Amino acid sequence: MKIQTAIAHFDEPLYLESGRILETYELKYEMYGEMNETKSNVIVVFHALTGSYHAAGRYEGETKAGWWDPLIGDGKIIDTTHFCVICVNILGSCFGSTGPMSVNVKTKEPLRLKFPVLTISDMVRAQMNLFARLGIKEAYAIIGGSLGGMQGLCMSIEYPEFAKRVILLATTYATGPWAIAWNKIAIEGIVNDPRFKNGNYNPEDFEEEGLLSFAIGRMAGHISFLSPYSMNKKFGRNYVETDGLYELFGRFQVERYMEYNGYSFAKRFDPLSYLYIIKAMNIFDATRNYDSLEDSIKHIKAKLTLISFQGDCLFMPEEMALIKTTLENMGRSDRVDYVCIDSQYGHDAFLVEYDKFDFYIKKALESKV
Ligand SMILES: CC(=O)SCCNC(=O)CCNC(=O)[C@H](O)C(C)(C)COP(=O)(O)OP(=O)(O)OC[C@H]1O[C@@H](n2cnc3c(N)ncnc32)[C@H](O)[C@@H]1OP(=O)(O)O
Ligand SMILES: N[C@@H](CCO)C(=O)O
């Protein structure tokens, strides 16, 4: 599989939904496979909260492949011998695109809290500018899970001509209080950690040890990505063999797991980026500029494939089912396929239980629209 990684620099300002302006910005992206002559074989894949442009393949020396590698590649469900897949690191993130720690060209200092609040719509508009620059007028399909699904939904409403097939997984049309509440734990953790210094930290200080209360906030987030069932299946009541049962800080395996995933995450992800991205997630509401959900999704021209997961307790299946029933009530049932996957893994099932849902992606990609 041919992999190309690049950074696109934009000197034209990006006018944000908030009224603020990003004077210049950069987007880092990766492409798998090759575009055909007419550029009609492009599939856009959007990443979720902490993902990056690196959706597939494995670089030399890398321990793990890209985050959707089981699905993207030569001969895989998203077959790169036929399609050219593009994944762009979202604005606000910390993997090469412009974000809060990017340097202000005038002051030569990181923007930090001066970085503007972004919306999903802003992230999508920036990506549309990239696609225009690459000469991609229309995508064969767009696909995304979680925050990536929000981008896909937003794109299908705001740029209805861009893609004829839109596949959304484990997402919602508006972030609910349950998800916002989980994110609040991370916000409080980050801003109240003395090492955060109101955003004036030196990122190098976190290489050895990340912000401790960011790690704790992420542990909470991590619980919301799983489910009681998957925790039980993974760990049961197993205890760490080398820890004593009567030691106060002796740990169950699930505790060791939370420690590992919380602390390692806080070392590798920028806390300001996390704040900006969860802000964009929290304020995502596809109905905000419309009278109702119906008024918003009536703009969609694509065929939607909605894939929810039974055990997802972050973005509940009912939330995606409502998009389906709303379209049906509008007499547009031919434009939507909805499936609720029999899965108890939790929200992150879209990153794990590929064999349970890859068939629906295949079907959507093969559909004549
Ligand atoms: C969506 C995007 O766009 S990409 C973002 C995806 N990445 C993330 O969410 C980052 C966090 N990662 C994860 O949550 C998971 O690795 C997933 C969801 C990607 C995959 O889930 P699973 O395959 O079920 O992995 P699992 O939850 O078992 O293991 C996660 C880590 O915990 C470790 N672990 C498992 N059990 C234990 C334990 N008892 N004690 C300590 N560590 C443990 C694993 O070794 C693994 O470590 P690694 O990430 O260094 O390889
Ligand atoms: N666990 C994934 C998906 C969350 O929606 C992440 O952290 O990006």
Ligand 1 atom 31, closest CA: 261
Give the pLDDT score at 245: 98
Cβ of 48 below 6 Å from ligand 2: yes
Cα–ligand 1 centroid distance for 292 (angstroms): 38
Cβ of 348 below 6 Å from ligand 2: yes
Low-confidence residues in the chain, pLDDT < 70:
none
**Can you say which residues are annotated as belonging to the binding site?**
218, 348
Complex ipTM more than 0.90, yes or no: yes
Top mutation candidate among 94, 348, 355 for ligand 1, by most atoms within 8 Å of CB: 348
Name residues contacting ligand 1 (CB within 6 A).
47-48, 50-51, 67, 225, 253, 256-257, 260-261, 348, 351-352
Q: Which atom of ligand 2 is nearest to the CA of 47?
A: 8
CATH class of 3-175+285-366: alpha beta
Give the pLDDT score at 327: 98
Cβ of 122 below 6 Å from ligand 2: no
pLDDT digits (tens, 9 = 90+) for 40-96: 999 999 999 999 999 999 999 999 999 999 999 999 999 999 999 999 999 999 999
- Decide whether 3-175+285-366 matches 179-280 in CATH topology: no
Q: Which of 146, 213, 230, 273 is the catalytic position?
A: 146
Top mutation candidate among 45, 52, 120, 147 for ligand 2, by most atoms within 8 Å of CB: 147
Top mutation candidate among 50, 229, 241, 261 for ligand 1, by most atoms within 8 Å of CB: 261
Q: Which atom of ligand 2 is nearest to the CA of 314?
A: 5
Ligand 1 atom 25, closest CA: 352
Ligand 1 atom 42, closest CA: 257
Q: Which atom of ligand 2 is nearest to the CA of 48?
A: 8
Cα–ligand 1 centroid distance for 50 (angstroms): 13
Give the pLDDT score at 105: 83
Cβ of 223 below 6 Å from ligand 2: no
Cα–ligand 1 centroid distance for 358 (angstroms): 20
Indicate the domain borders of the chain: 3-175+285-366, 179-280
Active site (annotated) includes residue 146: yes
CB 306, CB 320: distance < 8 Å: yes
Give the pLDDT score at 106: 85
Cβ of 51 below 6 Å from ligand 2: yes
Which CATH number applies to 179-280: 3.40.50.80, 1.10.1740.110, 3.30.420.10, 1.10.10.1590?
Answer: 1.10.1740.110
Ligand 2 atom 4, closest CA: 49
Cα–ligand 2 centroid distance for 256 (angstroms): 20
